[in-house]
Structure 1
């Protein structure tokens, strides 16, 4: 099962740090060569501003396990950072953090008729029918942050 490392996640409220952002310029006429410095005269990218519209209700978890990893290798992998917003109402198709029998799990919320269930992306893991287990939706995963090159 894919679960999160800590049920006591910290609220994301780091000091603003900005990343340089290149602006793209369109020129009406061609006269000479543009300066390479023009590519770097833009503002800054603030990932907090881009990814976290509600800082007081957003938490970050680290995923563990393989239940949300698809057979083709896509999906959520162990070590991925999950941004979770508790202020969003979960809907059909959302990836959620759910508390199931006291354990925090990452699953996809699906409604089969009027019966909600928690599904894994990995077919080796059976769905969890929410009426047959003690379940609570804790929050909705809004972003997955993965390091692709170390």
Structure 2
């Protein structure tokens, strides 16, 4: 009897590691899936419509400047797809931080290291994916500005 109770108490707990791993998996799903699913469910407006709308706003701004009137930008509503993407990004980062926190707590409480490492890796991966999308967007914007600046002779 005493040998079986000694082996039961020697097994480290897994509770925080498992919860952290689940939070990490959810964070990874929230980081990756919206970039594929949201454009399919809520397609963005066509490029020609965006170009025409931007042209109208620039024309209105120039006319207001010529008249000496302050330009009043029209209120633009967020699309449903954009709000879903923003919500998914916030959820991914939050769940990723939760997974990292739970993995640290699992290590402090001397739980199983493998599950703590899995939770930390999943949480860090979800945060890294979100940061990479921001960096890719910034690089694309810099490339567009460079091309436009090169065309008008700024560089």
What band does the TM-score fall into relative to the shorter chain? under 0.3
Which one has the largest radius of gyration?
2
Which one has the bigger helix percentage?
Answer: 2
